[in-house]
Chain A
Amino acid sequence: MTQQGVRWTADQVLALAPDDSSRKAGSKLGAAGPWSEAGSSDEGTVWGLCRGSGGKPYQTVVDIADAAGPAYKCSCPSRKFPCKHAIGLLLLWAGGPGAVPTAEPPGWAEQWLEGRRKRAESKRGEAAAGPSAGSADPEAARRRAERRAERVTAGATELEQRLSDLLRAGLATAGERGYGLWEETAARMVDAQAPGLAARARELGAIPDSGPGWPVRLLEECALLHLLDQGWLRRDRLPAGLAATVRSRIGLPASADGPPVRDTWLVLAQYDTADAKLTTRRIWLHGVGSGRDALLLSYGAAGRSPELALPVGLALEAELSAYPGAGQPRAALGEQFAAPAPTSVRPPGRTPREAVARYGEALRDDPWLDAVPVTLERVIPAPDGDSWQLADADGDTALPLAPAALSRPGLWRLAALSGGAPVTVFGECGHRGFTPLTAWPEKTGEAVALC
C-alpha cells in the first residue's frame, strides 16, 4: 500500500475531511514541523506523534488498507471524525516518503491495529456463520413486514386523497397555503413508515417558491407522487423488477442481495449532501469490465464524515452487489481485493445526444428517475446567456447545465480546465439538465473533482 505509486494525492486526503474547517486545520498540520516519529508500514498503516498546544503529543494512527475505507485513531479530544491530526498526518504521508519513512509500527499503534484485526476476524466469522443461524424467527419477520405494508398502504391512500383534494381546489391555492401543508403531510407519511413518500411530499412544499414555471413543476411532481402511490397500491400486478423499484422508492428497507460483480471500479465522483440530521455521501463507480455504473451511499451523523471515502481518480478491485429494483444503480461494496489505487483509465464517453437518449431509456425501468450518470466525451463548456451548456465539440447539439450547478465553484473549475477546448465530463444527466461532477482535460491529465 505504501509503495511509492500508491500514495494518495492531497486532494484525495482532503476529501476525507468532514467539513471545511477541519480541512483547513488539517492542511496546516500537513508539514513536518509538529510531527515526530512518523512512519508507515507496507500493510497500509500510517502513524505519527503530533505536538499540540499541550505537553503530551497526540498519537495518531490511520489504517488505509481497510476495504471499507480508512480507519482512524487519535488521542486528541476532538469530536470531529477524522480529526485534523489524522488529515494532517495523511497529507504529510501524501507529500512523499521523506517525511514518513517506511518502518515498523510502534507499540501504541500496533496495539490498536491488533484490536482492529481481531474485531474484523470475529465479524467475518459471524458473517460466515450468519446464514445458518438465520434471523430469529422468519414467521415474526413476515408478520412485521405485513404490518408495515398495511401502514404504507394506509399512508399511500391518505396521500392520494390529499393530492385529489389539492387538484380539485387547484394548485394556485397550494402556493397560498405554503409550506406547512406539506410539512404536515410529510409527517403523516413518516408515521406511515414510508420515508420515500415523506421526502417527496416535503419537496413539494418548496416548489411554489422555486421561481417562474413552478405550477408545471408542481404538477409534474404531484403526478409522479400519484404514480408512486398507485404503483404501491397495485404492486401485485407489476412486474417483479418494477415492484421492487416501487418498494425502494417508497423507502422500504432492502438488502443488497444481487449477485456480487467483481470488476475494476473507477471512482468517478464523490459528493455529500447534508440536512440538519444527516450527511449523505454519494459515490459513483464505473466498472471497467462490466461497463456498469453503480452508486454507493454512505451516511454520517451531522458533523461526522460518512465512513466510506473513495476519492475521485482511484480505482478499486472489488465486488459490488446491487440492491433490488429495476434501473436502480445503488449497490453495496463487498469484498475488496486490493486497496484503491490511482488510475489513468477514463470511463468511455458519449455525445450529448446519446446522453439524453440514455436518460429517456432509463425512465422505462424507473419513471421516478431524476437523472442518470453519464460521461460526456469531447464537450466544450460554453456560456449561454445566464446559463451554461456543454456543447458537442464535433456536432451541433448541447446539454444545458442544471440550474443548481450554475452557482457552484465547480463550474469555473470546469471552464478553466477546458479553456475553450474539448473536455471529458462525468455527471448526472436528467430532466433538469446536466450536473457536472468530474472532468478530465482533453489529452492527458488527472481527474478534477467539480463537486
Chain B
Amino acid sequence: MNRTSAPDRPAAQAAPAAWEELVTSALLGTDRRPPATGGPRRAAPVALLDAAALETVRRRAGLRAAPAVRRPDPAADDPRPALPAAAARRLALLLADRPGTGSGGRRGTSPDLKELLPQWLAAANGHGYAAPAESLPALLDAARGRTDLRPAALTFAGPRALWLARLNPDWRFALRAAPGGAAAPGPDTPERVRQVWEEGLFSERVALLSALRSRDAAAARELLVASWATERAEDRLMFLDSLRTGLYADDEPFLEAALSDRSRNVRATAAELLSALPASALARRMAARAGSCVSVDRTRDVPAIVVEAPLECDTSMERDGVVAKPPTGRGQRSWWLGQLVEAASLGSWSRRLGGRSPREIVALPVADGWQAELHAAWCRAAVRQDDAEWSRALLGAPSAPEAGGPGAVSLAERAKLLGTLATAERAEWVAGFIATHGLSEAFQLLGVCAVPWAGPLGRAVVDALDIARDAGSYPWSFSGVMGLAERCLDPAEAGRLEGLLAVPDESEDAAPGAGGYWAEAFQRLMTTLRLRATMSEELAPPRPSGP
C-alpha cells in the first residue's frame, strides 16, 4: 500500500534488493540465472519459490498506508431540504430505467418510466428539494444523454453535481450548461454585474443579460445601451434578442434607435420587437400603412373587405423592417401587404373598419381571394402582440366545420393562437375541437395545453379514445395522443378509465385483435396515471411547511 499513483505497480523503489534479485531470476529462469539463495539441499527453482513465498508474504504484511494527496475542496452546501424517503426511492427507479433497454416495439401495459422523469424533476424542483447525493451520478448520466432534461436535472442536482462534474470529464456538459451555476442565480452586486459585462466571455455576457433581464428589465436594457455602440454586429443581434423577455413600452426609444443600426439583421429584429408593442410609433406607422390597403366596401349588398395591396416598398417602409424582396414564388405586393398587416397594431383595425369588433371583422367576407393572405397576417399579429381577443376571433368556434379542415388557419397557427389564451379557455377550446373533430388532428393542439389537463379536456380526450376504439381502429394510430395522455391527463381521471379496461367482444368490422390491444393501452394509461398520483404524493412535504 506504500504506492501512490499506481497501486498495482510493484513498489520498486521500496523493495529490497533481494526481491529484485528474485524477480530477475524468475523472469530469466533459474537455468540461466541461479538465485543467490539456492542452498545445496534443494533444487534451484524450489529454493527460488521458497524465498519468493516468504518475500511475498513479508511484503504484503509490511504494507503501509500511502501518504495522502491533496483532498478535493468540499462541495458547496446545499441548503435545500432532503427528499422524502419514498420520493428518493422513486427517483432511483426512474433513473434506473434507461432508454434503449425497452422490449422493442410493443409497449405492453407497464408505464414508460423515463417519460415521467421530466415531470418528476419539475415537481421536485417546484418543492425545492435537494437531490440525494448518491443519485447524482445517475442523474448526470441521464442528463448527459438527454439535452431536454438538462436544465431541470441540473437545477435539481444542485451545487454538488457541479463539484462532481469537475472530477469526471463525462459530465463536463454540466459545467458548460451552467455558466454561473444553475444554483447560483448569477452575480447580484452591481459592481460584479458590471465586471462580468465588461470582461466576461460572450456566453457569460449573454447569460448575465438574460438573467438580469428576467429580474430587472430596465437595468438589463441600460447595461446594454451603455456598451451598444462598441459591440460587434452578431453580438448586438444576440443581445437584442434577449430583450424579448419582458418586453415593455420603456424599451421603445432604444429599439427605435436600433432601426437605424448598421446591421440589417439587427434592424429587422428591432422592428419585430417594436411591432410587438402595439402602442409603439412603429406599430402606429405600420397600422397607417396597412389601414390604407384594407377597407370595407359598403356599396355591396353584404359589406365585404376589399384589399388594395401596396404598390411599392419605399425606404421608410424598409427602415421599419419591411423586406422588399419576396421569397421565390410569392407576389411582391401580397408579400408587402402581409408584412404591413402583421406589424400593424391590431387595435387600429376596429376604427378603420367601421367600429367592428375583431369577431365581426374576421367574419366579414374578403373580396378577390385575399382572405387567406389577410387572415394569416392577422394570426401572426395576434400571436406577436399576444392579443387574446383577436386570437379568439381568428380561432373561431372549435366546433365550426372549417376548424377541422384545411382552412385559412393552419393547425400550427392555431396552436400558436391558443398560446395567447388563458389556460382554462385554451383547454376548453381544444376540448370542443376534439369533441367535434376527433383526435386525428389534435396532437399539436394538445401540446400547448397546460399540464395536467383540465377536467373537460381530459374527458374529451378519453371519450375520443373510446370512440376511436369503438370505430375499430388499432391503438397505435393514436400512440402520439396516448403518450401525451399518459403524461398530461390529470391522475384524478384514472377512475374513469376502469370501464375501458375490459377486452370487449370483437365486432365484425373491428380490426382483428384490436380490442385486446386497446385494453392493454388503457391499462398502461391507467397504470401511468396511478404512478403519477403516487409520485406527486411522495413528493409532498411531510407536513405543511412555511409559516
Contacts and interface: CB of A to CB of B under 8 A. Distances in A.
Q: Does B bind A?
A: yes
Interface in A372-386: 380, 382-386
Chain B contact residues, majority secondary structure: helix
B279 to A, nearest CB: 52
Contact of B8 (A11, A352, A403): A403
A416 B531 CA distance: 28
B68 A395 contact: yes
A27 B96 contact: yes
Contact of A380 (B48, B66, B71, B534): B71
B68 A448 contact: no
Contact of A168 (B7, B23, B45, B109): B45
Interface string A69-98: 000000000000000000000010011100
Interface stretch (A126-134, A214-222, A255-263): A214-222
Given A168-B31, A367-B57, A397-B66, A95 B86 contact: yes
B69 A382 contact: yes
Contacts of A417: 133-134
Contacts of A167: 26, 29-30, 44-45, 48-49
B92 interface: yes
B515 to A, nearest CB: 12
B97 A32 contact: no
B101 A433 contact: no
Nearest to B52: A223
A9 B72 CA distance: 32
B61 A363 contact: yes
A29 B110 contact: yes
A23 interface: yes
A226 interface: yes
A415 interface: yes
B62 interface: yes
B107 to A, nearest CB: 10
Contact of A448 (B6, B62, B134): B134
A397 B113 contact: no
Contact of A28 (B6, B23, B111, B137): B111
B72 A383 contact: yes
A399 B526 contact: no
B335 interface: no
A31 B133 contact: no
Contacts of A367: 53, 57
Interface string A356-398: 1001110110010000000000001011111101011101111
Contacts of A216: 10, 23
B136 A10 contact: no
A424 to B, nearest CB: 14
B67 A398 contact: yes
Interface residues of A, number: 94
B289 interface: no
B200 to A, nearest CB: 27
Contact of A412 (B4, B28, B108, B168): B168
Nearest to B15: A216
Contact of B7 (A51, A211, A224, A400): A400
Contacts of B228: none
B10 A223 contact: no
Contacts of B344: none
B160 A419 contact: yes
B1 interface: yes
B68 A10 contact: no
Interface string B46-61: 1011101101110111
A162 to B, nearest CB: 10
A352 B64 CA distance: 9
Contact of A352 (B65, B89, B503): B65
B108 to A, nearest CB: 7
Contacts of A55: 503
B93 A432 contact: no
Interface string B492-531: 0000000000010000000000000000100110111011
A33 interface: yes
Interface residues of B, number: 81
B520 A53 contact: yes
B48 A398 contact: no
Interface stretch (A169-177, A241-249, A288-296): A169-177
Nearest to B76: A419
A402 interface: yes
B412 interface: no
B116 to A, nearest CB: 10
Interface string B80-98: 0000011001101100110
B27 A419 contact: no
A88 to B, nearest CB: 9
Contacts of B43: 164
A421 interface: yes
Contact of B164 (A53, A224, A401, A416): A416
Contact of B65 (A23, A364, A399, A409): A399
Given A223-B49, A360-B62, A412-B164, A432 B7 contact: yes
B32 interface: yes
B9 interface: yes
Interface string A436-449: 00000100000010
A167 B8 CA distance: 23
Given A9-B89, A34-B110, A173 B57 contact: no
A212 interface: yes
Contacts of B3: 400
B92 A10 contact: yes
A188 interface: no
Nearest to A99: B534
A353 interface: yes
A113 interface: no
Interface in B274-298: none
B65 A356 contact: yes
Given A219-B26, A386-B5, A226 B53 contact: yes
B110 A416 contact: no
Given A32-B530, A384-B4, A409 B137 contact: yes
A271 B85 CA distance: 24
Interface string A143-174: 00000000000000000100111111111110
Contacts of B65: 352-353, 355-356, 392, 397-399
Q: Which of B27, B68, B74, B530 has the most CB of A within 10 A?
A: B68
A385 B96 CA distance: 30
B52 A222 contact: yes
A31 B528 CA distance: 8
Contacts of B71: 380, 382, 391, 393, 420
B528 to A, nearest CB: 7
A226 to B, nearest CB: 4
B517 to A, nearest CB: 10
A341 to B, nearest CB: 16
Interface in A415-436: 415-421, 431-433
B177 interface: no
Given A95-B86, A170-B29, A353-B65, A420 B73 contact: yes
Contacts of A31: 111, 527, 530-531, 534
B89 A10 contact: yes
7 contacts: A27-B96, A170-B30, A363-B60, A398-B65, A399-B66, A419-B160, A431-B1
List of 9 A-B pairs having minimum Cβ-Cβ separation, nearest first: A33-B527, A170-B29, A420-B74, A223-B52, A167-B45, A397-B65, A28-B110, A419-B75, A391-B68
Given A171-B27, A383-B167, A396-B68, 20 more contacts: A9-B85, A21-B101, A33-B110, A33-B530, A53-B109, A91-B93, A164-B46, A172-B27, A172-B28, A215-B23, A219-B27, A222-B49, A224-B56, A353-B65, A359-B63, A363-B57, A389-B66, A403-B7, A419-B160, A420-B73
Interface of A: 9-11, 14, 21, 23-25, 27-34, 51-53, 55, 91, 94-96, 160, 163-173, 211-213, 215-216, 218-220, 222-224, 226-227, 352-353, 355-356, 359-361, 363-364, 367, 380, 382-387, 389, 391-393, 395-403, 409, 412-413, 415-421, 431-433, 441, 448
